[in-house]
Amino acid sequence: MSIAYLSLPSLGHCCQKSPTFSLKSSFLSKPTKTQFSFAFKTTQKRSSSHIVSMSMEAGVGVMGTKLGMMSFFETDGTVVPVTVVGFREGNIVTQVKTSATDGYDAVQVGYRRVRDKKLTKPELGHLGKAGVIPMRHLQEFRLQSVEEFETGQKLDVEELFKEGDLVDVSGTTIGKGFQGGIKRHNFKRGQMSHGSKSHRALGSIGAGTTPGRVYKGKKMPGRMGGSKRKIRKLKIVKIDNDLKVVMIKGAVPGKPGNLLRITPAKIVGKNIPKN
């Protein structure tokens, strides 16, 4: 690409003392800091290193199946609403992850035995390598130490928990489908009289010119339920080894038949470090 040079000795007596210089195209010359100081703003690049942000558990837990709710009568006659959780075949350690091999310490547990054709070949290969039965659900429990666990170890509920312990129960809530603002966010409705033209409608969702848009996170109609929820510090009322069920005080997420994850309750400073 050719570059044009322009000499300025003949533009006047005042310019004769000026040195000869060249004009180059802006896309060929690199601007300097003195010419365009605004173009050289220092910016810090964000670190792209991968960091495992999985939540640390207070101890290894188990998976169970929600069976329903009932009333439990204590010895003094007090009626306690409890959720009955059953346990199918499973709760077997399928993999032990360490900081040396995976960057963090965790125990992978399998639950609910299924037929071989219900799983994919990679899943069957992973479980076959561990030497365990084919299971539907696999979940990890990140722990501070995994020295006492080994592949194929069976986790018994009566050994991990006892009556009176506090546990954290997580599961998937009941899906409600697409719902309006009144049911989804507990909004108030308008008057139902004949003259009112606003009964269950959402109403205004923002100003006009300023800001001229709808803020992110605005509470509006949409999909309700079907999300993961955790209920913390629920008390174990009864453990029945014959029926293989656990009765937990209060309600837990999901409907009967849903998968539940039960772990020891996190108490900062007691079983979880403050940092």
Tokens (6 digits) for 205:
């969702």
For 63: left if phi > 0, alpha if psi spans -120 to 50, otherwise beta; the answer is beta
Q: What tokens appear for 86 in the block? A: 């059953």
Question: What H or E segment, with its residue span, contains residue 137?
Answer: strand 135-142
Q: Name the pTM for this structure.
A: 0.73
Q: Rounded CA gap, 196 and 19, in Å? A: 83
Residue 203 is predicted with a pLDDT of 87
Secondary structure (3-state) at 224: strand
pLDDT value at 222 more than 60: yes
pLDDT of residue 9: 45
Output Rg (C-alpha) for the chain, integer angstroms: 33
Q: Do the beta carbons of residue 267 and residue 274 sit within 8 Å?
A: no
Average pLDDT over residues 231-248: 94
Mean pLDDT of 204-226: 92
pLDDT tens by residue, 34-58: 444 444 444 455 544 444 456 788 8
Q: What long-range pairs does 186-195 form, CB within 8 A, spacing at least 24?
A: 187/219
99-129 as b/e: b if 16+ CB within 10 A = eeeeebbbbbbbbbebeeeebeeebeebbee
Name the one residue in this structure whose structure tokens are 């772990």: 263
DSSP element (H, E) containing 185:
helix 181-185
Question: CA 170, CA 43: separation in Å to the nearest integer?
Answer: 42
188: phi then psi, degrees, rounded to nearest 5: -90, 145
Other Cβ atoms less than 10 A from the Cβ of 32: the count is: 10
Q: Which H or E run includes 235? A: strand 228-240
Model confidence over 127-176: pLDDT tens digits? 999 999 999 999 999 998 899 999 999 999 999 999 999 999 999 999 99
**Nearest Cα to Cα of residue 238 among 254, 249, 253:** 249
Q: Tokens 């322009």 belong to which residue?
A: 6
Within 103-155, residue ranges assigned H as helices are 121-130
Q: How does residue 272 score in pLDDT terms, banded at 50, 70 and 90?
A: confident
CB 149 within 8 A of CB 93: yes
